[in-house]
Structures are given as C-alpha cells and as structure tokens.
Structure 1
C-alpha cells in the first residue's frame, strides 16, 4: 500500500497491472461524462437561484390571480348594480305610463261615441299634459279611428294593428317597441326615426260588450331620456354604456350605430362575460332581464351594461407591473447571496476533487482530510478507506490476470468442440428427416414455420428455405390453413391432435394423416408444435372403391339392396315433409330362369343389362332404379301429384320391355311383371309399403305376367 511519503509516478507511466489513463486532467484517468463539467458551486448557485425564482414566481402568480379575480368581481358587481338600477327605472316608468293610460281610458269624454268632436278636444288637452304620448286615439268596435289627438289618422281602419287586436280580447295591452308605419309621414321630423311602445285599453259598455279601444303610442324617446339622466352621465367617465335588448336580442335602446343590431352574446343574469367583443374591444358585460312592475307585466327586455376590460382592470394592471418589478429586484438581490452560500458549501468538496484530479489511480496516494461540515468529513474518510481497498484489489487483479488468458484459451477449445458435435448431430437429424416419406415441420407459438424437411419441396413445389419465417397461412394458403386452424389451436393449447384431411397443392390432391405434437416447455407453456403428415392417398382410394362396390351392383351399375334401403328411408322422409306422393314398384323379369337354362348365364347377364337400360330409358333422372337380386328390381318415384302417375310409368316400362331382343341369333321376347304401391305421406312404415308392393307383384304374375297391378 502506498503511503503519504511516496511520490506520484511520472506522467505517461502507470503502475503494473493498471490501465493507462485517457487524460492527465481527468480524475482517475477516466473522462468526465457529458453534463458533469460544471462545478458543485455553480450547481448550488443555480439551484438556490432556481428555488428563489420558483418561490417568487409562485407568490407573484398567487397574488396576481387573487388581484385579478378581485378586480373582475368588483367590476362585474358595479356593472350589475347599474344594470339593476336601469332595469328598475325602465320597469317603474313603463308601469307608470301603463297606469296613466288605464286611468285616462276611464274618463267620461272617451266613452261618448256620439260626440267625436268633444272626444277629440279632450284628447288634444291630454296630449298637452303628456307630451311623451306621440299619438292618442279612440276607435269604434270595428277598429276605425273615431277621434285622435290633432286629428291624426281620423277615420283610418287600424283593426289589423297588433295593439287593437290585443285590446279587443277584453284586457289592457302593452306592445313591444316598433317603428311608425302610419304616423311616420304625419308626425314632425326628428333626428332619429320615430319608434313607439303601444298601450291599448278596451272600452266596454255596462253589459261588458266592446264599444271601442283607447290607444296610446308612447314615444320611445321617453326611455332614451331616462337612460340619459340616470345612466349616461354616470357611465361616461368609465367609458361604459348601457343597452336595452328586445326579446330577440336586438338592440332597441343604445348607441345609434348598434340599434337594430343583434348583440353576439347570450344574456345571462348576473354573469360577467369576458369574450364579448365589439369593434376589436373586449368588454365585461352584465345582463339583467326586466321583471315588470305591479300590473305592468314586462315585455321581456334585457338590460345589458358593458365596460372595456382594459379600463375595468386598470388598477390590476398597475399592481401587476409593481409585482413584476419587485420580483426582478428580489431575484437580483438573491444572486450574490446564492453565490456566497454555494462557495462556502462546496469548498470542502472542491479540495477533494482537486486532490483526486492530481492522480491517475485512486490507490496511488492517500487523500487529504477535509472538514467544514459533517457530510464532507464523512466523505473524506470514506474515500481514504476506498483508496486503501483499491490498492489491495490491484494486487489481486494482477495475480488473476496472469491465469485468466490460459482459462480463456481452454474455454474456447471446449466451446469449439461442443459446436462441432452440435453441427454433426444436426446433420444426422436433417438427413434422417429429409429421407422419411412424411412431411415434418415445426411451427412456433406465433404460427410461423421454423423447420421443414425435404418432403415439403416435393409436395408443395416450394423450397423449404423460402417458407421459413413466414406464417403457416402464407405458406399453404388460407383454404388449407382454415382446415387445420382448429387442430393447430388445440395443439398450441397443449393437446396432441390426430386427424385426416384432404388437400390439393402443386397440382396433386392428397389424403393426409396428420399429427400435431405440442412442444411443451418445463414451465408448462407451449413453445410450438411438431407436425407429421403421412400421405394415405392410396389407402383412401382403396377404401372408397370398396365402399362403392359394396353399394353398387357390378353388372348393371345400379344401386344394390344396401343402397336401396337407405334411399327408400330418405325418400319417405322427403315425401312426409313435402306432402307429395311416392310410388314404389317391384319389377320381375318374366321367365328369366329359362333364359339362363337355355342360353347360359352370360346371355342372362346381357338380358339383365338390357332390361335395366330399357327401364332407365322411360323414367325420369330423379327416379331411382335399384337391383335387389337376380331378376328382382325396384323403382322409387318421388314428387308425384297422384297415384295415377305411378301406373302410367308402370305401363311405359311394360311396353318398353316388350320390344324383342336379338341374342346369339335368337330373337327373345321379354316381358315384366310390376307391382305398384303408393305412399301419400302418412304414418305407413317401410316394411308395410314394401309388403303392399310385393303383394301387387304377385297379383300381376297371377294375372298372366307382362302387366302391372296396383296395391291401391
């Protein structure tokens, strides 16, 4: 172990068994990783400044959010109070006008329809005292103006006007703001178009019958005067304005450039709307709906008071600037304090780092002891202990390196021998599998082909190397894959599968016996499936031929007794379902034994084949002719409309068989006897139906043969 009195080795040299350092300026000969070049003092300074910045930013944001919310709330509440005052003034004013109209309608002069002149004088006097009434008049029960102030519209029919229609129903009427249609040309001109609010009171006699209507057009300049006296002077200093919206949202009272236009907001009571803009200016807006007053029901108006956001939040913006300035000053003051604290905390670690940077290896020399705070002293002691242990490990490593190369060489030879043995084993297995007359493959859990023997090329016409790594569906096609999908799924679930299938590939159809053997891991999961497919085409062909011979008469090619029994059962079932008629015939070749005895069995076989051909020639393709044994035949007729159709077929068969047959120079006269039985879909069994047909056959023979008889 090195002691404090030993000198460091000269640059460029290293102790025995130690690696050369990559840079003389890097501690322990190792390059510093990216991002580690800054000193601890700088990191601490940055962290303290970051903490101060986060604290200042958080505090500033909290104060700023609170101040903004308070400023917005105060602005909205102020606007709301103005809107409520304006709304109440309008409602009370309209209620007062409504009350005045109702009182005037009760005056005696306005009920004397026999003296229109006296009524007109009274109207003129009322208009002098109520100058905001632009027009006053009385109509008769048919809607014609009897008398009006100033004689305006005398004799005019106003029965179609909404105010008259509303009053004729028997109750006082208040109409919404509208423009002047009839009075525009009669009234004096003014700077703005005339607009009115209509009042109408029905004039009833003692029996409650309508005598006429007392109507008043209140000039809308009255509302503009209220707005000017109550609102405009107060709101002007704040650059705010008040609007009155009709039921459809159109401005009925407000700046002249907005009247008649629809304000693009939905009025909601008591809610400050930040996103109400007009002419590029963002507003706070508060809307208050009218509620009526006393007997005046209200017209659904909405008072909307708005103020530019920039003006409403002016005090808040000034406070925010002061908060930002204060935060910047505090952050600037925190920079020197952070730097001083960071230097004081990092000084012990800087001493250790400089000591480590002067050596090429940790175990070269003893490290100095540093203090300052407890953690730095503990780190210094730990590094000194680590330096001592590092020197001991260096000696151990030097001894171990001496024997390591020999062990690596020995291990390399062992691995080479193992690889050679494995390659030899794989060649033997490949040779065995390539020469087996079966198709062997391995499919992994993702259904990808990982192994194929040479048989695959002969069967599929594709080199095994082209199929490896592809999915089974891509290799054999979706049709063949669908046939094997369920079995492959079962094998991948861990159950061995054995099944037969028929497939066509490379232009050859094969019957295959396939086995799927799961490749089960020690933990019970399935890694893949081994498949073995054996070509059993020859065996299946023999099996099918034997089955055919067992069901077909080899002489005539007709179905034999075994096949007849199954076909009769199927025909009866179809007849019961379809509700049609089935005909069953027993046919017997007359005197067939004499042909065999006189001409031989070869001639008898010819006669049987001719008989079968003649019967087939007169029946339908859907009718089924079977040979039971010897010269006994049976014919099944389906889908008959009535039993008579079966007897017609029997007659055709009798006539077709009668044609003479030239055989070995001898002309033979053939004939047949037929027994016919019909089934109409009832509960009759097969045995009963066969018995009736057999009885009918014997009846035909008793009748002299060469004829047919029906059991029905």
Structure 2
C-alpha cells in the first residue's frame, strides 16, 4: 500500500509538472522564434539600407564622372582620388565602356585597363542594355578569392544614351558590410547565414561552404526547402546532422537574398531542461516523504489486521481453535474476523463431507467398467482399479508403487510420456483433456491394446495427481478395419468392368484426360482407338447372352495382350471398347498398332466347344494440337469407326 501511495503521488506530480513544462516550452519556443525573426528583420533592413546607400553614392559619383574616364586611366584615378569616401565603401571601382574594356582601380592610386572575362562581359552587356542600376550575382573576387558583389550604375552622354557603366565591388567578408551579421548570432552555438534565392551561400560560419549551394551536403532540411520556396518566419526543423533547431528566415528587399538564423533547441531550452530535472527531483522527494507518512499511518491502521493474521496462524498450527476469531470489534477488522470464523467452521464441515465422499468415489471407481489409473507427478501408480487389472493383466498389488511407463506405455512412447510428466510436475496441475484420444497401451504379455484415453488431475492432501480413464476399443478397431477394407474393395470394383476385368468408362475418362495433359506437356503424340465387335447382336440372338459374354471376355483379353504396357484398354458399354495409345510417333505407327489388333481378333473363338470367327471394326484418331478436347478426340475416333464399318468391317481406319 505504501508503494501504491508513492507511485500515485509520484505519477500525479510528474504528470502535472510535465504538462506545465510542455506548455511553458511551447510558449517559450514561440517567444524565441518571434524574437529571432524580429532580429533578422532588423538585420535585413540594415543590409538593405547599406546597399541602397552605396547605390546612392555611385549615382552621385556617376553624375560627375569625366567623359574621358572610360579611356584614360589617369583621369579615372584622379576622379577616384577626389572621392575618398567611395574608396572606403568599395573594394574596387570600375568603368565598363562601349568598346568592351574594363578600367578599374586596384589598391591606392593604381588603375589598370583590361578586357573582362567572358562571363563578366556578358553581365556588363546586359546591364548596359538595361540602362538602370543593377546588383550583380555573387562571385569569387579575383583579388581576395572571397564572395563579392558589384553594383553598376549607367552613365549617360549628352544625348541621354548609356555611354559607360560605373560600378563598385563590395567584399562581403573583409569589409564592415556584414559585421552586424556575425555580432548578432543567437546564443553561443547558434549562427546567422546569407544565401541567394537560388541557395548559393554568401555568408556562413564555415568559410569552406561560401559560394557553394546550401544543399551541396547530402541530406534533407525541411526549413531550408521552405525558405528557398519563399517562406518567411520561423520554424522548428532537424538539420542534416540530425540535431533540432529553431530556424528563422527573412528575404532582402533590395537583392532578394535570404538571411537565415539557426538556434539549437538544446541550447535554447537549456534552462527548461534544467528546470525539468529539478522538478522531477522535487517530485521524487515529495513522493518519498508522502510514502513515509503513508507507511506510518498504514502501520497504525493495520495493527488489528496483523493480530487477526497471528490468530489464523495459531489455528493452522493447532495452538488455538477458531473461537479466538469470535472476539467482537465494532469495525471492519471485527467483521472480517467473524467472517473468517464462519468460513472456517463451514470448511471443517466440508472436509468431513469430503472424507465421506472420497470413500464413496473410491468404491465407484473400483467398480467402473473402464480402467482408472492415478499417478504421482513422478509416474508412480497410486490407484489401479479392477478394470485396469482385467484390461492390462497386472493386479493392483503389482501395479501400485511402480512406474506406469514400465507397465502399459510402449517403449517408443516412453520418452514423450516422461516429458509430459515432467511438465506436469513443474506446473503442479496439468491441463484437463475432456475429449477422449486414441492411443496404444501394452498388456502384461506384450501385446498392444488400442484404448481411448482421457486424462486430468486431482488434488489430494496438498499434492496433485495425474488421473486417466482408459477404455479398451479392440473390438471397435477390428470392426473399423473391416469396414475400411470393404470400402477399399468397393472403390476398386467401381473402377473395373465386372464382366471383362478391364478398366471401365470412369477409368477411361480419367486416363484420357491425363494422357492428353502429358502429351501437351512433353510434346509427345497420342492416339485413341474406338472399336466394337462385328455382328455381336447376331451372336447374342443365335447363341444366347452367355456366348456373348464369353466373346466379350475373350475379346478384352486379346486387346490387352496386343497393346503395350503404357497403353490403356477400357470397355465403355456392350461391345464398345477403347484403347488409349500414348507416344505414337505418327500415322504410320498408328496403322501398325491398329493392324496388329485387328489381326489378333481374327483367330477363331471357342463357343460351346465349337470355333466361331469373330472380327472387329476399329477407328483411330490422332490427337491434334493443344486446343482439342477429350470429347472432340472421342468423336473423331467414333467417326473413323463408322468409316471402317462402311468399308466392309473387319478392318480399321486411321482418321485425318
């Protein structure tokens, strides 16, 4: 009970604490995300302002740039020297003229002229055709090797046409352009980064990833894909390394770049994690104190119950009788004591009745018509009634005290029997089998006895015993065997023509179907012969049906003697016979087989000690392809038979 109290208090405290912390974490997560997004919005505004300021600076310089600056490096250098502020704001200043030459400054008081690379030239030409200020895509600076951008401003001549492009390049890493990005990272391990709308990294704590695609690393980050699809705001996601973080994104208005921030969840919620641990510790301490108080209270409340327990122990040991349970108490324990007294009084009466019933049951089992055997869990026989003596040949005096396996269990079943007894001993009470099962037992003289067995268990004197009823079914088994033999004989007779002893129509249909399947499978040809006895009705009419039966039996015998072992002869009805020839090579072989059978029939038949000439007409059909059915093949063979009759009988026709 103390443990239950501790568990209930601990569970309730932990649930309330965790629910409160989950709600607080959800609110805290929202606050962190909103703060992080507000910070990015402020940084984005600052970056947009810097880009716009540089655009304004270039515009003011473009209005005063000398017309010969595009072709005279000295004039270009003098113009730049008059604007020291621009030198601090830009890494380099450039002029791209219509002749395709790039004039730019390198360091202090140095100007050079050279053609741009093809990629830069293509960008300059598009910018000149646009006729308005543009910001280039990020590129790797040839001077610093770091990410840079260029702002270009058109310079127009007196006619208003674009005469040149005046631009300034900005190093995104070594200037103060993005200093506030690094200084305003979230937490200790969080960081800020910038990428283009195409995913090219412009600013990142890992310098090796600059100017590479953010998805160049293998893996998937849901927050990154949302930002590239235009998402602004904050979201919780898992990065490609498997750690969770709060991601915030803001798009720059001036360039469309994406400023992002990642704040690891472990760091963001470090105070909440510590608070959770402290709360769980406090809950455990509170539960322990509650359990101690509950234990003390339970000791006081259960003291009367402990006395009742001692009284029951004294009754079981014999040092007291059940009268000690009649002491009156006006509480639940007193009511329980009285109930125990009544129960034990009823138990004593029941035990006396059981002893009387045991004697009655023993007499019933002793006179039972079936063998009854009981054993200890070791297999030692404890009871062996008169029916067991009669069925198995062992007297009760001989059987009781011996292992039952040595008495009636066949040797090949004793291992399984001992395994079952071991399980019975381990479980204390074996499973009850209500339905009878058929097994084999041994008689004392060694002969086997079929019996029906039902087993169970009984408890006596605190121990469990295995019990079994065994019914001798020797006569039933012999009767069943006779019935089975009769059924097998009947089935065999149902498949044989009773007059001739050869296969009947049923067998023929099965054989033909299987033969056609084998012919299709093995691509071996097949032929079917359909034949009858010429003028058979005349034999029956002149010499009687007895003579006709003699002819039918002799005719069937000659057919069987004339075919191969793989062929099947069957009688359909009357004087109609069929032969299934398997593996017939061609029509020539079919003609040879048919001629052999017709010739075998021509030998005279003996009827009433007289010889009589008997002939046959025979039609043969070769199986044609996989599509022909059994019925179609029989019909073609029957047609060939009628053709043989039209030819004058005593012959054969092999159909097309």
Query: Which bin holds the TM-score, normalised by the shorter protein?
Result: 0.5 to 0.7
- 1:535-562 residue CA offsets vs partner (Å, 9 max, x unmatched): xx9997444893259999968999x999
| Distance across 1 between alignment mates of 2:178 and 2:70 | 39
SS at match of 1:411: coil
- 1:94-150 residue CA offsets vs partner (Å, 9 max, x unmatched): 233234434544557459879886566444434544521233233332421368695
Partner residue in 1 for 2:42: 85
**Paired positions, count:** 436
Give the alignment partner of residue 168 of structure 1, picking from 106, 110, 128. 128
Partner residue in 2 for 1:152: 111
1:546 aligns with 2:575: yes
Partner residue in 2 for 1:609: none
Partner residue in 1 for 2:54: 97
Partner residue in 2 for 1:340: 296
Partners of 2:570 and 2:578 within 8 A in 1: no
Alpha-carbon shift at residue 68 of structure 1 (Å): 3.8
| Distance across 1 between alignment mates of 2:56 and 2:234 | 33
| Distance across 1 between alignment mates of 2:369 and 2:41 | 97
Alpha-carbon shift at residue 391 of structure 1 (Å): 3.0
Partners of 1:158 and 1:164 within 8 A in 2: no
Give the alignment partner of residue 213 of structure 1, picking from 156, 165, 173. 165
Alpha-carbon shift at residue 337 of structure 1 (Å): 0.6
Alpha-carbon shift at residue 309 of structure 1 (Å): 5.0
Partners of 1:203 and 1:214 within 8 A in 2: yes
- 1:23-56 residue CA offsets vs partner (Å, 9 max, x unmatched): xxxxxxxxxxxxxxxxxxxxx1221122122223
- 1:571-608 residue CA offsets vs partner (Å, 9 max, x unmatched): xxx9xxxxxxxxxxxxxxxxxxxxxxxxxxxxxxxxxx
| Distance across 1 between alignment mates of 2:295 and 2:358 | 49
* Alpha-carbon spacing, 1:259–1:221, altered in 2? closer, same or farther (3 Å): same
* Alpha-carbon spacing, 1:374–1:546, altered in 2? closer, same or farther (3 Å): farther
Partner residue in 2 for 1:286: 247
Greater RCO (CA < 8 Å, at least 6 residues apart): 1
Partner residue in 2 for 1:253: 203
Partners of 2:155 and 2:165 within 8 A in 1: yes
Partner residue in 1 for 2:176: 225
Partner residue in 2 for 1:467: none
Partner residue in 2 for 1:385: 342
Partner residue in 2 for 1:628: 646
Alpha-carbon shift at residue 349 of structure 1 (Å): 2.6
| Distance across 2 between alignment mates of 1:49 and 1:179 | 67
Alpha-carbon shift at residue 170 of structure 1 (Å): 1.8
Partner residue in 2 for 1:513: none
Partners of 1:286 and 1:304 within 8 A in 2: yes
| Distance across 2 between alignment mates of 1:631 and 1:349 | 113
- 1:157-207 residue CA offsets vs partner (Å, 9 max, x unmatched): 5564154133133243311332222xx2xxxxxxx6565311224456688
| Distance across 2 between alignment mates of 1:159 and 1:91 | 29
Partner residue in 2 for 1:137: 94
Partners of 1:370 and 1:376 within 8 A in 2: no
SS at match of 1:143: coil
Question: 1:267-346 to 2 correspondence within 5 Å?
Answer: 267=224, 268=227, 269-273=232-236, 275-276=238-239, 284-292=245-253, 296=254, 298=255, 300-307=256-263, 311-346=267-302
Alpha-carbon shift at residue 67 of structure 1 (Å): 4.1
Alpha-carbon shift at residue 212 of structure 1 (Å): 3.3
Alpha-carbon shift at residue 82 of structure 1 (Å): 2.0
Partners of 1:352 and 1:367 within 8 A in 2: no
| Distance across 2 between alignment mates of 1:221 and 1:335 | 64
| Distance across 2 between alignment mates of 1:159 and 1:115 | 23
Partner residue in 2 for 1:359: 315
| Distance across 2 between alignment mates of 1:637 and 1:256 | 92
Partner residue in 1 for 2:530: none
Alpha-carbon shift at residue 438 of structure 1 (Å): 0.6
| Distance across 2 between alignment mates of 1:232 and 1:437 | 97
Query: Unpaired runs of 5+ in structure 1?
Result: 1-43, 185-191, 441-454, 460-497, 505-536, 575-621, 639-712
Alpha-carbon shift at residue 272 of structure 1 (Å): 5.0
Alpha-carbon shift at residue 358 of structure 1 (Å): 1.5
Alpha-carbon shift at residue 393 of structure 1 (Å): 2.4
1:65 aligns with 2:116: no
* Alpha-carbon spacing, 1:196–1:542, altered in 2? closer, same or farther (3 Å): closer
| Distance across 1 between alignment mates of 2:6 and 2:655 | 107
Alpha-carbon shift at residue 239 of structure 1 (Å): 6.2
Alpha-carbon shift at residue 410 of structure 1 (Å): 1.4
Question: 1:375-524 to 2 correspondence within 5 Å?
Answer: 375-412=332-369, 416=387, 422-431=473-482, 433-434=484-485, 438=489
Query: Over the residues paired in the alignment, what is the CA RMSD in angstroms?
Result: 5.2
Alpha-carbon shift at residue 425 of structure 1 (Å): 4.0
Partners of 2:93 and 2:105 within 8 A in 1: yes
- 1:507-558 residue CA offsets vs partner (Å, 9 max, x unmatched): xxxxxxxxxxxxxxxxxxxxxxxxxxxxxx9997444893259999968999
| Distance across 1 between alignment mates of 2:33 and 2:344 | 73
Partners of 1:561 and 1:627 within 8 A in 2: no
Q: Compare 105-114 and 89-98 and name the one that shifted more.
A: 105-114
1:53 aligns with 2:16: no
Alpha-carbon shift at residue 359 of structure 1 (Å): 1.9
Partners of 2:77 and 2:111 within 8 A in 1: no
Partner residue in 1 for 2:194: 244
Query: Unpaired runs of 5+ in structure 2?
Result: 373-386, 392-450, 452-470, 497-505, 513-555, 561-568, 580-593, 603-614, 629-639
1:196 aligns with 2:159: no
- 1:644-666 residue CA offsets vs partner (Å, 9 max, x unmatched): xxxxxxxxxxxxxxxxxxxxxxx
* Alpha-carbon spacing, 1:216–1:343, altered in 2? closer, same or farther (3 Å): same
- 1:421-460 residue CA offsets vs partner (Å, 9 max, x unmatched): 84224324534654777167xxxxxxxxxxxxxx99xx9x
* Alpha-carbon spacing, 1:377–1:439, altered in 2? closer, same or farther (3 Å): farther
Larger Cα-atom Rg: 1
| Distance across 2 between alignment mates of 1:87 and 1:373 | 82
Partners of 2:155 and 2:164 within 8 A in 1: yes
- 1:489-510 residue CA offsets vs partner (Å, 9 max, x unmatched): xxxxxxxxx9986579xxxxxx
SS at match of 2:322: coil
* Alpha-carbon spacing, 1:147–1:235, altered in 2? closer, same or farther (3 Å): closer
| Distance across 2 between alignment mates of 1:76 and 1:256 | 24
| Distance across 2 between alignment mates of 1:549 and 1:257 | 95
